[in-house]
Every structure is written in C-alpha cells, then in structure tokens.
Amino acid sequence: MKWSVKSLLGAFIFRVDNLKTNLIGSYIKSRLLFCGKDVFLKKGVMIDYPSKVSIGKGTMIGQYSHLRGGGGIVVGEWCQISSFVNISTVNHNVNGEKYFNNVSYKGIRLGNNVWIGTNVTVLPGISIGDNSIIGAGAVVTKNIPANTIALGVPAEIKGKVPPLLEELGADI
C-alpha cells in the first residue's frame, strides 16, 4: 500500500482529535449529576452547571450542542440530540430591572427515546414525552406529549409516532 504524507498526517490528526474529544467528553461526563452507560458527547458539546444535568444510557449529543443546566436537565435513555441544539433552563426576567444577573431557572425533562433535530431550541420549564420527535429548527415553547412529532417556530404537534415495540411487550 502506498502512503502519502497527506494521508499519514490526516490519519494522525484524526486520531489526536478523537483522543482530545474522548478526554474532554470523559471529563464532562464525570462532572454530571448522573451519566448512564454508553453516553456519547460529540465534539464541541458544552454543558453549563453539569452537576445539575442527568443523561440516561445510550444517549448521543451532537456537535456543538449547548445544555444550559442551571435549573436542572434530565435527559432520558436512548435519546438522539442532533448538532447545534440549545437546551436552556435559564431566562432573563422582564421586570423593569437590568437584565444582567437578573435571571430565573426552570428545569427541563426529555423522556426516553426522544429525537431532537438540528438547530432546535428548548426553552426553560419544558417537558418532552417519551418516544417523541422534534423537527429541525423548531423552538419548543410548550410541553410535548409522548409519541408525537412537533415542528416549527413555535413548535406545534404535527403527527404521532407509533409506540415503542418494547412498551408493547414485543421482543426486539
């Protein structure tokens, strides 16, 4: 096999990047309130107040997503959170005072097997039910029930998702 300098450098850089990402991911996971088995954090994931964030097993959080966890975030098992997602438990108070340091927090809960599309924003106090899908670019301003598809700005329920086979007792 013939190796070029470019392919050798590319392979080296890829490995170093993976090593760096894995080390940073391991450090972040060690700081979480809870982190299940087989949780994967892709490059650039940021988590504020990790001691208030729980992530269930088998969950993947995509590149450059930001979890602002000051009010507490619970992410269920087997969730797929795409790239550039913003899950924020903090908001500025609108009370006639300066916005600087004038904030309030409300927790967020994502059920099991939730799929969040690219560039979604989830606002404080929101709960997204098990087995639901939030379409790319949506802004979630209201709770989303289980087994639903929500799309748009603001996100609205547009369809249903079949219940998980596991919930029906089928052997997968």
Question: Which of these is catalytic: 20, 92, 142, 160?
Answer: 92
DSSP string, 90-124: EEE--SSS-STT-EEE--EEE-TT-EE-TT-EE-T
Task: Indicate whether 130 pLDDT > 70.
Answer: yes
Q: CA 139 to CA 136: how far, in whole Å?
A: 9
Domains (range + CATH), the chain: 5-161 (2.160.10.10)
Specify the residue for token string 């606002």. Answer: 123
| Cα–Cα distances in angstroms (integers) from residue 16 to residues 3, 9, 13, 60, in the given order | 19, 10, 5, 21
Mean pLDDT of 42-69: 93
Mean pLDDT of 135-149: 98
Task: Indicate whether 66 pLDDT > 80.
Answer: yes
Q: CA 170 to CA 104: how far, in whole Å?
A: 44
16 vs 138, higher pLDDT:
138
Q: Are 134 and 110 in contact (CB under 8 A)?
A: no
Active site residue 66: no
Q: For 75-123, how does the pLDDT look when each residue is reduced to its tens digit (9 = 90+)?
A: 999 999 999 999 999 999 999 999 999 999 999 999 999 999 999 999 9
